[in-house]
Chains A and B, each alone.
Chain A
Amino acid sequence: MTKGAKAYLTFISLCGAALLGYAGYQYFTNIDLANWALELQQMVCLIVLCVLCSSLPIVVSPKQQALDISIISILAAIVVKARTQR
């Protein structure tokens, strides 16, 4: 791996970590504690959906080209509560 590629990997990873920190802060400060059971159930269901969609791509051709369907779970998670920090 070239030096440029390594620097790029590190930069993107740090950006991701920063975004994750921000999203986590937003989520936990805005969490609806009155409905925590429903919140938890939905969260678990979304995580299960996301794990399945990411783990099981659809093989679309005999040449083993696979279609990653994680967009299904991402879209569901983004639209569900209409909050990007979810």
Chain B
Amino acid sequence: MENQDKLEQDKQEEPVSLLSRSLVTGFVGGLLGGFFGIVLFYFNFSEVSPKSYLLRSWLTASWIDSWLGTVLSILMIGVISLLTAFIYYVLFKKINSLMMGIAYGIVMWFIVFYIIQPIFPNIPPLMELSANTIVSTVCLYILYGTFIGYSISYDYNDTMYKLRADKERKS
């Protein structure tokens, strides 16, 4: 009997904590945001792309222009997004409102395009960017902020609700 292969349905599930779920949300959000950033750049909606931020600022190798550079920059954005998700988790997870996510996205855009922009030598300053670029990237960051913010807030409130319901059921 012990030698029989366990059926798939008999394998145990591991419980996943709220923090790790939020970090996964951050990573996936970063991947999606990076992917759409590349798409926006490909269709000339925006003059800047994740590649130009992350790779071209420091390296000028030729492999950056190929698929490898694209995939690598998307993965890097995913990793950076872990940090932004963690910040949101620590500061704002209790606020259960859609506007918070939108505001978070706008603040991130501001930080990236205005405050830390001097670090990247090949990104033009804000005033020199075309209107299309500004609008497209703002929209992308709003959606990214909503994705991360709303997911984490909703997850937190949902977990609290379930804990309360479980407690009531047991008492």
Chains A and B come from one and the same complex: no
- Chain A residues with CB under 8 Å of chain B are none
- Chain B residues with CB under 8 Å of chain A are none
